[in-house]
Structure 1
Amino acid sequence: MPIRDRALAHASVLTITAAALVAVSAAASAANLGFLNDTPISYMKQRDLQALNNAAQVALNTKKDGESLDWDNKGAGNPVPINGTVTPQESFESGGLKCRKITLVAHAKGQTQTWMPTACKQSDGKWKLKKQ
């Protein structure tokens, strides 16, 4: 694959978790929501989010409803170990797209966070967060 195409594909890769987690983080900063301090998202860097996103893509494509996929941030370069699960919960159709509710769980430094977004499979085969 040419570098330009790889860059374009990389730029357009679904960031299910990154979008959800960054939105939570940005909202927390903007609203000064101190309760998010020392939670897994506060330790996550871009490469950690990508590891979680990659796990979400695999889980959405291969796991049955209720079946979990473990993930971790090993190799992401973060000195804080982060791990968790990705569990598709419910499959349905919306606007002609296959959609799934998904539970994302992250553990870091004795804390746990859970997010429950909905993702829909796009025509390019990538899963994208459904706006709520």
Structure 2
Amino acid sequence: MSRQFRPGAGAPALDAAYAHTITQWLAAAALLASPMLCYAANLNFLKDTPITYMRQADRKALNDAAQKALDTKKDGESYEWSNAGTGNSVSIKGTVTPQDTTKDGDRTCRTATLTAVAKGQTQTWTPIVCKTGNGPWKILKQ
């Protein structure tokens, strides 16, 4: 069973298969990047960046790719993702590259470089994510 993220509702509920924490982070960035807020908050530099074209289904595709990459790829190995099949007319693709893995007991942390490309523009995020045991990856709050 997958839970849906509702912007502004705080942290989403997590199931054992996938977490939506990366989606939460991206959703917050997307809210800041919406065209109306760009003008109101002088965030015009975000206009026409990949995050402004992402819908909820696109963020879920990126989150799912990030979870898979973090679970299966070695440091420096990239996992390719795209929003194909999400219903968005704007093609968005990119990579997720885990790096700098550290372990402390049953807790594992990694830096994840997430890249998105849309309409010739590239955007990159580098959150630090951690998980305990076989749990989902969650963004480390700093």
TM-score normalized with structure 1 length: 0.85
Equivalent residue, structure 2, for 1:63: 73
Higher relative contact order (CA 8 A, sep 6+): 1
Q: Deviation digits for residues 95-119 of structure 1, max 9, x if unmatched?
A: 8621110000000000000000011
Q: Percent identity?
A: 54
Match of 1:38 among 42, 45, 48: 48
Alpha-carbon RMSD: 2.3
Aligned length: 127
Contact 1:55 1:71 in 2 (8 A): yes
Q: Deviation digits for residues 12-66 of structure 1, max 9, x if unmatched?
A: 1422431222222334437341110100000000000000000000000000000
Gaps of 5+ in 2: 5-11
Equivalent residue, structure 2, for 1:3: none
Gaps of 5+ in 1: 1-5
Contact 1:16 1:119 in 2 (8 A): no
Match of 1:17 among 12, 17, 22: 22
Point out the structure with the larger helix share. Answer: 1
Q: Secondary structure at the match of 2:123?
A: strand
Task: Provide the C-alpha distance between the structure 1 equivalents of 2:13 and 2:89, rounded to a whole number of angstroms.
Answer: 26
